[in-house]
Each structure stands twice: as C-alpha cells, then as structure tokens.
Amino acid sequence: MTPLAIAHRAGNSLAGLHAANDLGVDVIECDVHQHRGRLEVRHLKTAGPLPFLWDRWELASASAPRLGLRELLEADEKGTTFMLDLKGRRIGTARAVARLLHELGHRQPLLVCARYWPAVEVLATRDYVRPVLSARNRAELGRLRQRVAAGPPVHGVSVHATLLDEPLVASLREHVEVVMTWPVNDEATLDAVLAVGANGIISDEPAVLATLLARRE
C-alpha cells in the first residue's frame, strides 16, 4: 500500500484545511472536543473555570472564536477524507459526532481515531467510517496488540513513532490495513518510519508531507 500523507491538526482551522488540500495530502486530521454541548475542533484544551485554553507551551484566551466540527465539514469543497481524533474519555462525544454526521448526510469516507477505543466503536458500525485505534505509550500498545489480534476488525492503528520497530509493524499489519505513526516532522524520521513498514505518515510539517508525496510520483 502506498504510504498515506496525513496532515496533523490541519483540520483545526479553515486555513489549515485549505492549505493541506492545496498540498494534495490524502487525509486531514482534526482534534474533536465536546464543550458545553458543542463539537469543537482544536488542539488546545480547556482549563476548567479558568479563562484560557492551553497545551504545554501555548496559551490562548477561552473567549477567542473556536471552529466547530459542523463548520469545518460544511466548509469542505474538495471531498476531503478527514480523520476525526476524538479527545477525552467520553462516549457522549462520539454520539454527538454520529448525530451531526446524520444531520449533514455525510457519506464521504471518514477515519475516526481515539486513544479511548469505546468512542471509536460507537461510530465504527457506519459503512463510511474507517476505525483507527491509537496508542501513545507501551501500556496502551500492549493492549492494542491484543485488541487487533482478537477483537472486531479495524481499518488501522496509530502508534507513536518511538514505539515502532519492524517486527511490531509486521505483526500489526497482519490484522490492519494501515499502521499510522506520529510525529513525523523531519526527513530523518520519515525515512526511519518508512523503513520499518509504517504506511500512514502523520506530520505537522508541510515540507515533510510534500517530500512523501514527491517520492510517490
């Protein structure tokens, strides 16, 4: 399978959506949160009652406009294949996404990913949804290997780049079509993950995705 070029977080803004589509990537990822009954796409997290959003080295005002998942999907004019990364340990977020997709009559292929796998399973029954299970650390990876070997089939897995080696990828690809990995933000990492057999490259860097796309020509 030709390695997929996946634009990490590009769907968290309309500018990112359009730029990634212009680049010609295969999949555009966005981070889906449910906040006060609304589905939002953003990487930054809320801070309870405090008036800001945060993530490690970044702060933003909680009152700043936030892009909604509905607005993102309605703005798409390219037939984009999105990957919705469902955040948090809440089934309710997945159910709200399911309702929204029904309201919009969405039928485009759609990847749904989460570290909380029950949320993925809520949407996996839809024929246009390609479920992807994610693992960030070794404990999650151990459970992931058991799940893909014994559980209902899934389209793919998303595993942090630091956990990958060739035997692991070969083992996973016996059960799934796509082994994705992140973060792949420089050419050396791109070469390394391709060498062990990863076939879904998740990157924040347009230059890395452009390199991957150029190699496929």
Q: Does residue 100 register a pLDDT over 50?
A: yes
Taking phi first (over 0 means left), then psi (-120 to 50 degrees means alpha), and beta for anything else, what does residue 9 get?
Answer: left
Direct distance between the N- and C-terminal alpha carbons of the chain, in angstroms, rounded to an integer: 14
Domain ranges of the chain: 4-43+70-215
Of 196, 198, 147, 151, the residue nearest 177 (C-alpha): 198
What's this model's pTM, rounded to 2 decimal places? 0.91
Q: d(Cα 114, Cα 130) in Å, to the nearest integer?
A: 12
The reported pLDDT for the residue numbered 93 is 96
- Per-residue pLDDT of 113-138, as tens digits, reads 999 999 999 999 999 999 999 999 99
- The model's pLDDT over 13-51, given as tens digits with 9 standing for 90+, comes to 999 999 999 999 999 999 999 988 899 998 645 445 544
Beta strands 82-86 and 110-114: pairing type? parallel
Say which CATH topology domain 4-43+70-215 has.
TIM Barrel (3.20.20)
